[in-house]
Amino acid sequence: MEPNTQFAPRVLLAVDDLRLRRTIEAGLRAAGFAVSAPSDADAVSVLAESFSPDVIVVDTDMSAIDEAPLHQRLRHDVEGYLLCIATDGRDRARVELLHNGADDAVSMPVSTDEIAARCHALMRRPRAIRSGDMASAPQNVITLGPLVVDTGRHEIRLNDNEVQATRIEFSLLEHLCRRPTEVASRAQLLESVWGPNWVGDTHVVDVHLSNLRRKLDRADSSIRVVHTVRGVGFRVSNEILDAAEAATRHHGIPAVVRANAAAAQPVEANERRAEMMVSSIKPGTVIG
């Protein structure tokens, strides 16, 4: 189960390869980090602002929407520590990354324990904060257009209207918002919110989300927040993604890619296979 996100240091994981992403994510969660691990570069760019990560772990092969290296864009736009994973094992490649703004760099193969240890080491460093950032950027707030999820205050607001949610409803929405372009299966939501040892009917997720939807409708019935992908799971709606896209354009951040419900089932199948492998990962696993 993910650590308490109010107190855990936050890591934004930007790795293109599904198997590698899930392996690193599992290692970081086991080390006590709250992890957001979107599957595409545009979602990474949006979450780099809304998730307010303490550390960004980025694969140097991942490109931004303009084909520029994603780690370069993130270094320019984000104040969090930047840990780059270089697929090129040469020392020179790591040196170039450090010269170009990375706070730390590793090359493949590398163990999940080492990545977690380096993230902890980065967190011990003092870091300069740009003027005005302390007042303007709340550290526990996820903002997607009109939807604001404040994990520190445990509040949900939709178009400035407060939504009174239970702890479970809040946790379900938080999970979806941390990966806004991905479909979350019932099994994933159960493990995240109820824990890996929960046993019972998976449709308890539907009941709580149905209650949450009614409360969101009372706050603003003109916009749908949670979308059901039949036979697969749930995701943030296109209405919210469109609004987030419009908002991020004003800040010069690439638009978030709309989740593709038609492609959700093959993606979900791949993620199930990956999660089966992740469940057997032990501390110290070497990746690459």
**More confident: 41 or 236:** 236
Distance, in Å, from the CA atom of 170 to the CA atom of 239, rounded to the nearest integer, reads 20
| pLDDT(104) > 80 | yes
Q: Please say whether the structural domain 10-133 has been given the CATH code 3.40.50.2300.
A: yes
Query: 66: closest CA among 230, 253, 205?
Result: 253
Give per-residue pLDDT as tens, 134-187.
Answer: 344 444 788 998 999 998 888 999 999 999 998 889 999 999 998 888 899 998
Give per-residue pLDDT as tens, 40-76.
Answer: 888 888 888 777 788 999 988 887 766 677 877 777 7
Distances (CA, A) of 26 to 37, 38, 51, 166: 10, 14, 19, 27
SS3 25: helix
Domain range annotation of the chain: 10-133, 140-278
Domain 140-278, what architecture? Orthogonal Bundle (1.10)
Lowest mean pLDDT among 116-120, 177-181, 280-284: 280-284
Prediction pTM value = 0.50
Residue 220 pLDDT level (bands cut at 50, 70, 90): very high
Q: Are 112 and 280 in contact (CB under 8 A)?
A: no
Q: Which sign does the torsion angle of CA 45, 46, 48, 49 carry?
A: positive
Q: Which position has the token pair 């320019």?
A: 76
Distance, in Å, from the CA atom of 149 to the CA atom of 50, rounded to the nearest integer, reads 10
Q: Which sign does the torsion angle of CA 72, 75, 77, 81 carry?
A: positive
